[in-house]
């Protein structure tokens, strides 16, 4: 069973599973970041139209929910976000190079012994969490401070609860941090393009 | 052709793929206008034709270009309902667009002639 969301692409209703939704949403955001103002709105509209068309062709009675494979296929047809620059104005390139995604430190609830601090550190530094557990133990045994440091980290590090946070923890490209940092207007913009309705369903 | 590849090997900073892409990009505008001049098209039709002609590989390149041509007043569009799928945005050439295309036609002929003239003098290896 997988969680599913309903989205509105160019006025058409589509059901899409959560992972595929994240993929699609981050793709549109990345492409959108390449442009600004009126161009942005129009280009995104054009892309949504095309996506709606492609998805409509893919959907069958047996397979009504869009999955990651289909999103990947559509993105493959449309092309990588960097391909959009080529035909655009030359200055769009500089803007886009400033866009980077951040990795954030979280506690990893799926990889925990106590609070998941070491699991999160492991994900952040791309290392085996055992290494950090070992370090904390050494510092505790030798200096006696390891536990305090651990407890403080436990206290101040947020736990990665949502999927977006887990992605962020591992440094994958779904930065919902963008959402918070970007201006309110842009947030509204994305929301308009992607009228996400609440909805939970089943998918086999 | 062999000459181009051999110099590309000597200077790795100059990628043949980039040069090819640049070449295509230059005439892509012209091709879009030419396609739309025959009959009004919606985006998928334009894409289909460009892909068939191997002018584009991914579609992404096209959207900013269409917007730019429209902003420049060469293209305009209208909406039409479609029986299945989302409504379609049909592009059509404006009067300015038609004049623009005529000039591009001329310019293209000159370009082809120029390249042929130069290539004639080339002795094959």
Cross-chain residue pair A88–B59, CB shorter than 8 Å = no
Q: What pLDDT was estimated at residue B102? A: 94
Closest chain B residue by Cα to residue A45: B63
Name which residue leads in pLDDT, A118 or B14.
Answer: A118
Record the tokens describing residue A82, joined without a space.
Answer: 């960097």
Q: Is A141's Cβ below 8 Å from some Cβ in B?
A: no
Contact call for B61 and A87, based on CB within 8 A: yes
Q: Which residue of chain A has the CA closest to B64?
A: A88
Task: Kindly provide the ipTM of the predicted complex, given to two decimals.
Answer: 0.72
0.80 exceeded by the pTM?
no
User: Is the minimum CB–CB distance between A35 and chain B shorter than 8 Å?
Assistant: yes
Residue B118 corresponds to which tokens in the numbers above?
Answer: 């130069």
Residue of A88, A104, A120, A126 lying closest to A181 (CA atoms): A104
SS3 content of chain A, % helix, strand, coil (to 5): 60, 10, 35
Chain A residues with CB under 8 Å of B44 CB are: 50, 53
Residue A34 confidence (pLDDT) = 84
The residues of chain A scoring below 50 in pLDDT are 87-101, 174-183, 185, 196-204
Provide the token pair at A130: 């055992």
Render pLDDT for B77-111 as a digit per residue (tens, 0 to 9).
999 888 777 788 899 999 999 999 999 999 999 99
Is A84 in Cβ contact with B60 (below 8 Å)? yes
């Amino acid at each position: 069973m997988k969680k599913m969301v309903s989205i509105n692409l160019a006025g058409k209703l589509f059901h899409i599973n959560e992972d595929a939704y994240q993929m699609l949403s981050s793709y549109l955001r990345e492409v959108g970041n390449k442009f600004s103002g009126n161009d942005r709105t129009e280009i995104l509209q054009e892309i949504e139209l095309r996506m709606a068309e492609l998805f409509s062709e893919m959907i069958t009675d047996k397979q009504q929910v869009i999955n990651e494979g289909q999103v990947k296929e559509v993105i493959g047809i449309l092309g990588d976000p960097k391909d959009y620059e080529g035909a655009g104005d030359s200055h769009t390139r500089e803007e886009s190079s400033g866009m980077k995604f951040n990795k954030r430190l979280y506690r990893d609830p799926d990889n925990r012994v106590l609070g998941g601090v070491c699991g999160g550190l492991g994900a952040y530094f791309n290392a085996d969490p055992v290494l950090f557990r070992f370090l904390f133990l050494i510092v505790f045994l030798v200096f006696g401070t390891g536990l305090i440091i651990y407890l403080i980290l436990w206290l101040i590090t947020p736990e990665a609860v949502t999927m977006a946070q887990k992605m962020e923890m591992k440094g994958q490209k779904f930065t919902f941090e963008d959402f918070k940092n970007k201006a309110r207007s842009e947030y509204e913009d994305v929301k308009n393009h992607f009228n996400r309705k609440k909805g939970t369903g089943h998918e086999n | 052709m062999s000459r181009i590849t051999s110099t590309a090997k000597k200077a790795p900073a100059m990628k043949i793929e980039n040069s090819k892409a640049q070449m295509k990009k230059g005439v892509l505008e012209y091709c879009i206008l030419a396609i739309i001049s025959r009959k009004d098209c919606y985006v998928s039709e334009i894409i289909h034709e460009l892909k068939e002609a191997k002018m584009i590989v991914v579609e992404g390149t096209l959207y900013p270009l269409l917007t730019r041509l429209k902003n420049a007043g060469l293209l305009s569009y209208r909406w039409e309902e479609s029986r299945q799928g989302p409504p379609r945005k049909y592009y059509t050439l404006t009067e300015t667009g038609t004049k623009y295309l005529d000039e591009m036609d001329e310019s293209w002929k000159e370009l082809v002639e120029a390249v042929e003239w130069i290539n004639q003098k080339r002795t094959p290896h």
